Amino acid sequence: MEHVLRAEGLRRHFGSGPSLVRAVDDVDLAVAPGETVGIIGPSGCGKSTLLHLLGGLDRPDGGRVLLHGRRLDGLSETAAARVRRTAIGFVFQAFHLVGELTARENVELPALLAGASPREARRRAEHLLGRVGLADRAGHLPGMLSGGQRQRVAVARALVNDPPLLLADEPTGNLDSAAATEVLRLLAELRREGRALVVVTHDPRIAGAADRVVTMRDGALVDETVLV
Ligand SMILES: Nc1ncnc2c1ncn2[C@@H]1O[C@H](COP(=O)(O)OP(=O)(O)OP(=O)(O)O)[C@@H](O)[C@H]1O
């Protein structure tokens, strides 16, 4: 079976000498199509760094990342950006929406960057905003939305190019319990659709909804629990 995502011997160190931090140290991880993998571990153990490497947002010092069997880490920045836009959706704890653009424009942006026509980008954005329950907020700027609504816009944006893989870094970390529940419901729906999901989380509810939970400590994967 071809994995959606595969990391082999992944390494990312920061600093040197006494201040050397082995943020990611010899990590192997494979994600099957449609699989949801939770990554948990104490603060500073390297979860975000690992997720950035997996998504090609940062380059490893060693090892490799394969997306559908193709190396991601060796690509030029332009080529990596192209792959990221179409093959991976990102959801971050801090939403990372563009404050000057409306909800709909935020969702349209990655579609336009990937070459969709303005009309097609708008069609997809409106459909997805409807799907996340925000059809009536399409014209709002992020500053006019609640945290939960912003995160739902971010989920819609992550889906606009229909990626088979989503990477999420503490997607419920900034949300109150009701808003977190709504985002969790969306993630569960994406899982049922057969998208692969890698979620860094402290939220036991997300971890409990994963197929597999891996625990990270000091840059290494130290434990793996398969849930049914
Ligand atoms: N750009 C950087 N320069 C130097 N050190 C860094 C950099 N990015 C991360 N680190 C260090 O690497 C280690 C892992 O950081 P990372 O953010 O991946 O941890 P984390 O598990 O996601 O933490 P948290 O749960 O608190 O978000 C930390 O010790 C951090 O200080």
Query: For residue 228, is pLDDT > 60?
Result: no
Residues 6+ apart with CB under 8 A from 121: 108, 111, 112, 160
pTM equals 0.92
The pLDDT assigned to 223 comes to 80
Q: Can you read off the two tokens belonging to residue 66?
A: 């394969």
- Cβ 45 under 6 angstroms from ligand 1: yes
CB of residue 57 inside a 6 A radius of ligand 1: no
User: Environment class of residue 166 by beta-carbon count within 10 Å: exposed (0-12), middle (13-18) or buried (19+)?
Assistant: buried
Closest by Cα among 40, 85, 30, 41 to 63:
30
Q: Is 93 in the pocket of ligand 1 (CB under 6 A)?
A: no
Ligand 1 center to 47 CA (angstroms): 8
Bridge partner list, 214: 39, 224
Mutate to test the pocket of ligand 1, among 11, 12, 13, 14 (most ligand atoms within 8 A of CB): 14
Residue 81 above 90 pLDDT? Answer: no
Q: Tell how far the Cα of 121 is from the centroid of ligand 1, in angstroms.
A: 35
Evaluate: CB of 201 within 6 angstroms of ligand 1: no
Question: What are the pLDDT digits (tens) for 111-148?
Answer: 999 999 999 999 999 999 999 999 999 999 999 999 99
Condensed to tens digits (0 to 9), the pLDDT of residues 158-214 reads 999 999 999 999 999 888 888 888 888 888 888 888 899 999 998 888 878 889 999
Q: Where are the domains of the chain?
A: 5-226
Residue nearest to atom 11 of ligand 1 (CA): 23
Quick one: pLDDT at residue 208?
80
User: Of all protein residues, whose CA lies closest to atom 12 belonging to ligand 1?
Assistant: 23
**Which ligand 1 atom sits closest to the C-alpha of 51?**
18
The arithmetic mean of pLDDT across residues 10-32, rounded, is 95
Task: Compute the average pLDDT of residues 100-105.
Answer: 97
What distance, in Å, lies between the first and last C-alpha atoms of the chain? 20
Question: Is 49 touching ligand 1 by the criterion CB < 6 Å?
Answer: yes
State which CATH number among 3.40.50.1170, 1.10.1060.10, 3.40.50.300, 3.30.450.90 fits the domain covering 5-226. Answer: 3.40.50.300
Instruction: Count CA atoms within 13 Å of residue 228 on its CB side.
Output: 0
